[in-house]
Chain A
Amino acid sequence: MIAWFSDPAHWTGTDGVFALVIQHLIYSGVALFFSCLIGLPIGLYVGHTGRGVVVIAGLANALRALPSLGLIVLLVILFGPVFASDMAFIVPSIIVLVLLAVPPIMSATYAGVAAVDPAAVDAARGMGKRPLDILFDVELPCALPLIFSGLRSATLQIISTATIAAYVSLGGLGRLIIDGRAQNDYYQMAAGAVLVGALALMVDLVIGIISRLTVSPGLTRRA
């Protein structure tokens, strides 16, 4: 495997490691963006109003049971003929990534907002803040630690599933594993696996750092 990594031909070019890592990050980033776009507002709404809690919990459980590989394959066959060129597998893969990442973001946001100290919310109301101001100035900042933990598990889920989506020809580090399997090249597979693991750890670390920088020190008692 060390031999695989030390071959410069494996690193550069359109199917080199650098290109694959960037592809992996782009697909994951797009999926995470859409997941936040859907998950955050719903979580904030449910947490703020307390309506729809049962629906959220049920949805999160049901979606966890869905096999991601099956969904990807299903959507590729269903939507494949609709789109031209590469979009035939990119769109279905991104849809599945979003579908898997929305529940953790949604439930963490809801749980975070619901767990905010009612005294803080009351104090904000007493200061004359309107409901929307309470949500964005008090509830959201106080819920950030939990929201970040939800984002973290959603991101890991996305990176992990994006690897699997290489099976339906999506680019990214999964390519090394799937192509390696097809060519019976175990070292290429192992190299892909090591790289995916390293990427997941790096991204996890980055999110951890962002969360440290943005969460108010008053909440973590580090002040």
Chain B
Amino acid sequence: MRFDWLYRESGRIAELFLWHLWLSVIPVVIGLLLALPLGWLAHRAGFFRSTMLGAAGLLYTIPSLALFVLLPLALGTRILDPLNVVVALTIYALALLIRTVTDGLDSVQPDVIQAANAMGYRTLPRLLFVELPLAVPVIAAGLRVAVVSNVSIVSVAALVGTPQLGLLFTQGLQLRFLTPIIAGIVLCVLLAALLDGIVLFATKRLTPWQPGGAER
């Protein structure tokens, strides 16, 4: 390890770290916002369920590098545009989260729904105030997987040249220099742990009824 190199490059590394942070977080947030209504549709209607979960599985099958390369063709963007990465990762997050949201809503006990009906809840308030809060543990588990795997997938985008920590890996290989590679790996793992911790913390705050938080 060459710490003087790290010190000299710290400004650039911090910049790459921030890029990496945004590229990992934004797609998951958009993915979750899209997955909530779609997952609810899949939960409600059998027809949507099979088609949507099938489509989600299909999208998840496509290797990340292939998606990064093909999106410019579909979006009309340039290959270096970070938008490609955001869209690709949103697709992955969405594919993963639709299933999670569906499973989460399925996990709500029928008794609870009947009780809510009896108390006069209409469909939308029941969804927002009864079903969604109870589905949080399952949704959060999927969210953790999505966030953590996104951090790893973002670094692949270095191969098409988008700025983020993955550039430290390509630079390290070109220079046959270990320091940036190790720094990149450590920062990726730290970022994943940090984001995972945030989701875990938020889940604990949202599910006060669960003993010991929402582990598993």
Q: Is B192's beta carbon under 8 Å from chain A? A: yes
- Alpha-carbon gap, A220 to B60, bound state (A): 24
Q: Is A34's beta carbon under 8 Å from chain B? A: no
Q: Is the CB of A190 within 8 A of B73?
A: yes
Q: Is the CB of B173 within 8 A of A77?
A: yes
Q: Is B108's beta carbon under 8 Å from chain A? A: no
Instruction: For chain A, residues 15 to 33, give those with C-beta under 8 angstroms from any C-beta of chain B.
Output: none
Cβ-defined partner of B159 (8 Å) among A64, A76, A167 = A167
Interface residues of A: mostly helix, strand, loop or mixed? Answer: helix
- Alpha-carbon gap, A122 to B60, bound state (A): 38
Q: Among the interface residues B156, B158, B189, which one has the most CB atoms of the partner chain A within 10 A? A: B156
Interface residues of B: mostly helix, strand, loop or mixed? Answer: helix
Q: Is the CB of B155 within 8 A of A65?
A: no
Cβ-defined partner of B61 (8 Å) among A74, A193, A194, A204 = A204
Q: Is the CB of B169 within 8 A of A65?
A: no
Indicate whether A67 sits within 8 Å of B172 (C-beta atoms), given known contacts A77-B178, A200-B61. Answer: no
Q: Is the CB of B176 within 8 A of A73?
A: no
The interface size of chain B toward A, counting residues with CB under 8 Å, comes to: 43
Minimum C-beta distance from A185 to chain B (A): 11
Indicate whether A73 sits within 8 Å of B169 (C-beta atoms), given known contacts A186-B79, A190-B69, A193-B69. Answer: yes
Q: Which residues from chain B sit less than 8 Å from chain A, CB to CB?
A: 58, 60-67, 69-70, 72-73, 79, 145, 148-149, 151-152, 155-156, 158-161, 165-166, 168-170, 172-173, 176, 178, 181-182, 184-185, 188-189, 192-193, 196
Binds B, one of A3-11, A37-45, A124-132, A158-166: A158-166
- Alpha-carbon gap, A70 to B58, bound state (A): 27
Q: Among the interface residues B63, B64, B161, B182, which one has the most CB atoms of the partner chain A within 10 A? A: B63
Q: Is the CB of A193 within 8 A of B159?
A: no
